[in-house]
Amino acid sequence: MPSFFSFSRFFLYLVPFASAIVTRTTLFPFIVGKYTWFRGSVAIALILFLFGLLFGEEAEEYEKKIIHAIRSPLGIAVGVFTIVFLLASIFGIKPNHSFWSNFERGEGGIQILHLYVFFILLTTLFKEPREWRKFFLCSAVSAMLMIFYGLGAGLGYNGFVGSRFGQEGGYRFEGAIGNPAYTAAYLIFAAFYALYLIVSKYSKKQIVTNLGAIVLLVMIGTYGVFFLLAATRGALLGLGAGLLVGLAYFGYSVKRWRRWVIGIGLTFVIALVFLISFRDTELVKKIPGSRIFDISFSAKTFQHRTIMWSVAWKSFLERPILGWGPESFGFLFQKNFNPAYFDPTQAFGSWFDRAHNVIFDYLAETGILGLLSYLSIFLVTFIHLLKKQNMVKRPGKTALMLGIPIAYLVQGLVLFDVLIIYINLYTFFAFTNYYREAEK
């Protein structure tokens, strides 16, 4: 009979499917169902895990594992960030709102607590390669379901909500997430899961002969198509930066591939520069999702962001230690209001309850302690990945993993975190913990 720990693991496998949940009967159909699914799955997984500690035959073994997870370098970093985030909530201007958030966002301290539990349970319960492969497969399949929902909405099927193909003003694919920017960022993680499954499970020959590998390749290609259709410039820059860093690491680690890596990297950079430089030509405009190449510091969306970054910086200087509290940026935007944000001749700008930059968001809402504790998680992650043994024993996998936090951080310079990004980010942190210990 499966143990409590096995059932707990099962509910963690359900978490990735939050990306495909849309509750059309709620006020915010792309948000409410996702955080309800996520919190419910994590809460049940935690309860079953605690039952296992109380009544399970393997209780002593898993007690040691969870203590080890909490005390691991990444466990400490994530734990410190969680504590600082909660302290910022308590000492913020609206503690109740900082902790519980609202229906529109569904974030706050309650979400960070669930994410911490999610991270610790993943680190504790997922100790075998097959367990992580199952989780990555669930994540990859969930991304396909997210895409299928977006196709249904785009075609106008009854019961589906979201943007339709050919709509006035231009179409950007948003899937079951409801926002093209997050859809693009999410698909970067999805491609990582599928690609890691290929390199960790199949030989070079099997990649083109094994049905499972071929299906995964098709999935990666599908992610790429809809990544372009999401037409998100920040995600494109993030993906480009992640690819270049990964290629540079691999080329440095494996000398025989160095020339190929340099060639691929230069080709990618030249192609990207060409597409951006000639973005206004008919040739480039005919490419689906060509908006993605329209990168300019004079764009209205970028100007709106610089205004919000200025608001965040001024707010940080007023309360530099723990900030104003999570979920407080809407108040700060009004407090330090800049009239240049609104132009009567233009459409409504970026939504102003976030700074649209993960650095400025944490700086304004959780202060310098929040930002440093947040960045410390990435510092520990990079320290783990850049160890010499990884360069010698598994340079390809490590190059792939290095690209993910780089891609996330770069796209995060013009965006803010939401649950669907948090889930994948914390999954990556937990997997990094496993990756660190796998070769010991």
Say what the pLDDT of residue 363 is. Answer: 97
Q: How confident is the model at residue 272 (pLDDT cuts 50, 70, 90)?
A: confident
CB-count burial class (<10 Å; 0-12, 13-18, 19+) for 432 = buried
Helix axes 108-125, 59-71, angle to 10 degrees: 120
C-alpha separations of 95 from 88, 110, 205, 410 in Å: 8, 12, 57, 30
pLDDT in tens, 336-394: 888 777 766 665 556 678 889 999 999 999 999 999 999 999 999 999 999 988 888 99
pLDDT in tens, 205-253: 898 889 999 999 999 999 999 999 998 989 999 999 999 999 999 998 8
* pTM listed for this prediction: 0.93
Give Cβ neighbours of residue 431 (< 8 Å, ≥ 6 apart): 122, 126, 132
Do the Cβ atoms of 123 and 69 come closer than 8 Å?
yes
**Comparing 88 with 252, which gets the higher pLDDT?**
88
Give Cβ neighbours of residue 114 (< 8 Å, ≥ 6 apart): 38, 39, 42, 43
pLDDT in tens, 142-167: 999 999 999 999 999 998 998 888 77
State the Cα–Cα distance between residues 418 and 354, nearest whole angstrom. 11
Mean pLDDT in residue range 64-72 = 97
pLDDT in tens, 101-139: 988 888 999 999 999 999 999 999 999 999 999 999 999
Give Cβ neighbours of residue 403 (< 8 Å, ≥ 6 apart): 192, 242, 243, 245, 246
Say what the pLDDT of residue 104 is. Answer: 84
